[in-house]
Amino acid sequence: MTKLIVICGATATGKSGLALALAMRLCSVIINADSRQVYREFDIGTAKPTVAEQKLVPHYLIDICDPTDRMTVADYQQQAQALINSPSSPSSSSSLPVLLVGGTGLYIRSIVQGMKIPRVAPQIKLRSQLESLGQPQLYAMLQQVDPVAAQKIHGNDSVRTLRALEVFYVTGYPISEQQGENPPDYPILQIGLDCDVERLAPRIQQRTEQMIANGLVTEVENLCQKYGADLSLLNTLGYQEIKQYLAGDISLDEAKELTILHTRQFAKRQRTWFRAYPKIEWFDANDPELLEKVWQRVNQFINCTSS
C-alpha cells in the first residue's frame, strides 16, 4: 500500500535538509511541493536542492516547467498523484513511504485532502466580457446559476465571483458541483517544522545572505536579460528585491534587508496557514535532536501501517 510522509512548514525551517536525511535512511524519494521550484533556472532564490543533493536521493517535480509556463494547482495535483500512485513508486512494492516536501500549502492540501479542482484555464475574452458588467451584476448572475457558490462567496469578492462564472460558462456545470474533497485512502503522516518568529529571524537572515553569496544577483540579472524584467516569476520573493537593486532603485544592502523583511512576513503567513490543520504533527525546527525524534515517529508510522 502507498504511504506518504509530508514535511511542511514555513520557509527557512529546514524542511529540505530533514527530508533529504530521512529519504537517505529510507532509501525513498522526494516529491517537491514548492510552487517555484517547479520552474527551471529559478534555483538560488528558491533554495532549490542542489545538483549534488538531487543525486543523493531522487527528486521529482523539480525543473519541470519553463519560466514562461504556468503550473496550476490542478496541474501539480495531477502530476504528484500520478507519481505517488505509480507502479514504480517505492511504496508500491514495499513498506517505504514517499516524501512530499515543501511550503506551498495549496500544493500539499491538494494531495492530502484530495481537493477537487475544476480544470478550466483562464478565459481571457470571457473574463473581459464579464468584467465589463460590473461586480453587482456578476454576483446577481452567480446567485442565479450557482446559489450554493454564491452563499460561500462575498458579494464584493470579484475574483472568486468571476472564477465561478467562468467555470460555469465553460463547463456548463456550477463550480460548487465540481469542488469538494476526495481524500486518498493510503496512510499519510504529516510532519510540520515549527519555529517562532523571533528564532526564525536569524535563520532567514543567514539564508538570505547565503543566497546572495551564492550568486543570486547574477541569477536575477541573467533571468532579466533572457526573459525580460516583466516576467511574473521575477516579481516573487527574493527576485523582486534584487531586480530593484539591478534597476538602480535601491542598494544591495537595502535589497537584502527588504528580502529578509518580506521573507519574515511570508513565513508568518505560512505558519498561520499550516497551523489551521490539526492533523499536522509539529516538531521544533531548532531541536538538536530533531532528526532522531522525527525518525522515531516515522518508524512508528511505518510499523503501524504495515501491520
pLDDT tens-digit map of 242-293: 999 999 999 999 999 999 999 999 999 999 999 999 999 999 999 999 999 9
Q: Are residues 73 and 148 in the same domain?
A: no
139-160 mean pLDDT = 93
Residues of the domain holding 157: 124-178
291-298 mean pLDDT = 98
Say what percent of the chain tops pLDDT 70: 96
Domain edge (last residue) among 178, 205, 224: 178
**Radius of gyration, alpha carbons of the chain:** 21
Q: Are residues 109 and 62 in the same domain?
A: yes
Mean pLDDT across the chain: 93
* pLDDT at 161 (0 to 100): 95
| 191-206 pLDDT per residue, tens | 999 998 788 999 999 9
| 64-93 pLDDT per residue, tens | 999 999 898 999 999 999 999 875 555 554
Q: Are residues 151 and 211 in the same domain?
A: no
Q: Are residues 100 and 199 in the same domain?
A: yes
Helix (H) or strand (E) run with residue 200 in it: helix 197-213
Q: Are residues 36 and 89 in the same domain?
A: yes
17-45 mean pLDDT = 97
What predicted TM-score, i.e. pTM, was given to this entire model? Answer: 0.86
Domain edge (last residue) among 178, 195, 223: 178
Q: Are residues 247 and 284 in the same domain?
A: yes
Here the cell at position 14 is: 529546514
pLDDT exceeds cutoff 90 at 181: no
Cα distances (Å, whole numbers) of residue 300 to 69, 280, 283, 303, 306: 41, 16, 15, 5, 10
Q: Are residues 278 and 169 in the same domain?
A: no
Strands, E, within the chain: which ranges?
4-9, 30-32, 59-60, 98-101, 188-194, 280-284
**What is the number of structural domains in the chain?**
2
* Among 285, 294, 204, CA closest to 9: 285
Distance CA 118, CA 20 (A): 33
What CATH number is associated with residue 276? 3.40.50.300
Q: Are residues 102 and 15 in the same domain?
A: yes
* pLDDT at 95 (0 to 100): 60
* pLDDT at 254 (0 to 100): 98
Q: Are residues 153 and 234 in the same domain?
A: no
Note every long-range contact of 70-78, with CB atoms under 8 Å and residues 24 or more positions apart, other chains counting.
Answer: 71/35, 71/38, 71/39, 72/117, 72/121, 73/106, 73/107, 73/110, 73/115, 73/117, 74/110, 74/117, 74/118, 74/119, 76/35, 76/38, 76/107, 76/110, 77/107, 77/110, 77/111, 77/115, 77/117
Here the cell at position 67 is: 519560466
Q: Are residues 63 and 145 in the same domain?
A: no
* pLDDT at 244 (0 to 100): 98
Q: Are residues 13 and 105 in the same domain?
A: yes
pLDDT exceeds cutoff 60 at 303: yes
Between 11 and 93, the higher pLDDT residue: 11
What CATH number is associated with residue 165? 1.10.20.140
* pLDDT at 178 (0 to 100): 83
91-106 mean pLDDT = 81
Q: Are residues 209 and 72 in the same domain?
A: yes
pLDDT exceeds cutoff 70 at 146: yes
Cα distances (Å, whole numbers) of residue 239 to 43, 83, 223, 227, 271: 11, 30, 10, 13, 22
Domain edge (last residue) among 136, 154, 178: 178
Largest CA distance in the chain: 62
* pLDDT at 120 (0 to 100): 82
* Among 71, 12, 5, CA closest to 36: 71
pLDDT category at 94 given cuts 50, 70, 90 is low
* Among 267, 284, 131, CA closest to 207: 267
